[in-house]
Amino acid sequence: MPTTDTLTLPGIAGQRIVVTAGAAGIGLCIARQLKAQGARLAICDVDPGALDRAKAELDAELALPADVSDEAQMEDFFRQTADTLGGLDALVNNAGIAGPTGGVEDITPADWRRCLDICLTGQFLCAHFGVPLLKQAGGGAIVNMSSSAGRFGYAFRTPYSSAKWGVIGLTQSLAKELGPDNIRVNAILPGIIEGPRMENVIARRAEQKGVSHDEMKAEYIGQISLRRMTPPDDVADIVAFLISDAGRNLSGQSFPVDGNLETLG
């Protein structure tokens, strides 16, 4: 059950916030949580149908189809964000893809590049165009979406894991660079998240290992100390906390939201 009815955080009401890939999955949960706290939203996504549904549900002031790995599209999106919202107070770099599953000799260079372009370069581009707006606002917050794959090696998922490790480096570097401008930068590391994206990952890994989907899923859950997947709303709650005044002295940190994932196979 979503926690937006019970969680109230100081300082989010009235904030102008961008959520990338905000029309589905974790991004939509984050956007819902922030909207419930009174934020003004600008979202982008590559799925026009999901974007239309999310815009209607959230009453988002701006909802544009855009690919975070495309420089021109991101420049236009942040220009329109500034025009529509009048500025920017927080950026949630949520967009990402699962990338290919396979051995290093099987993954194509094109698939490698596409995964890094979206999962890592996309976050750089959003920061590149978003930070000037945050500085104009006198400071703010950036929350970058990494993953448990950003602290564990992840066999047969090397593009994804490499990108998510890169997000940690981006986060710590930007926290140092932007701290004097009163901009806080943190990363979230979701673990095994409930939903269709993880089910697809499990299915591909099960096929590769020659086991059933249920066996593969049990193997993943067995790596979690709490022995359960994480609902996406739990991730949204932590994102909201970091953007709120309650997180005003948190920067340069990486926060796992994973039930204590012990390893990642």
Note if 220 is an active site residue: no
pLDDT digits (tens, 9 = 90+) for 78-109: 999 999 999 999 999 999 999 999 999 999 99
Contacts 24+ apart (CB under 8 A), 64-71: 67/118, 67/122, 68/20, 68/21, 68/44, 68/95, 68/118, 68/122, 68/123, 68/125, 68/126, 69/114, 69/117, 69/118, 69/121, 69/122, 69/125, 71/125
Is it the case that residue 3 has pLDDT exceeding 80? no
Per-residue DSSP letter, 256 = E
Q: Count how many Cα atoms sit within 13 Å of the Cα of residue 260 in the half-sphere of its side chain.
A: 3
Instruction: Please report the pLDDT score of residue 2 as a whole number.
Output: 41
How many percent of the chain have pLDDT more than 70? 97
Domains of the chain: 16-191+231-248 (3.40.50.720)
Instruction: Please report the pLDDT score of residue 264 as a whole number.
Output: 85
Query: Do 45 and 51 meet the contact criterion of CB atoms below 8 Å apart?
Result: yes
pLDDT digits (tens, 9 = 90+) for 17-76: 999 999 999 999 999 999 999 999 999 999 999 999 999 999 999 999 999 999 999 999
Q: Which of 96-110, 176-190, 204-218 has the lowest average pLDDT? A: 204-218
pLDDT digits (tens, 9 = 90+) for 110-123: 999 999 999 999 99
Q: With cut-offs at 50, 70 and 90, classify the pLDDT of residue 4.
A: very low
Sheet containing 16-20: which strands, arranged edge to edge? 62-65, 40-45, 16-20, 90-93, 140-145, 183-190, 254-257
124, 129, 154, 160: which is the annotated catalytic residue?
160
Q: 192 by DSSP, 3-state: which?
A: coil
Tokens found for residue 223? 């790596």
Number of CB atoms found within 10 A of residue 198's CB: 20
Q: 18 by DSSP, 3-state: which?
A: strand
Is it the case that residue 5 has pLDDT exceeding 80? no
Distance between CA atoms of 258 and 264, rounded to whole angstroms? 11
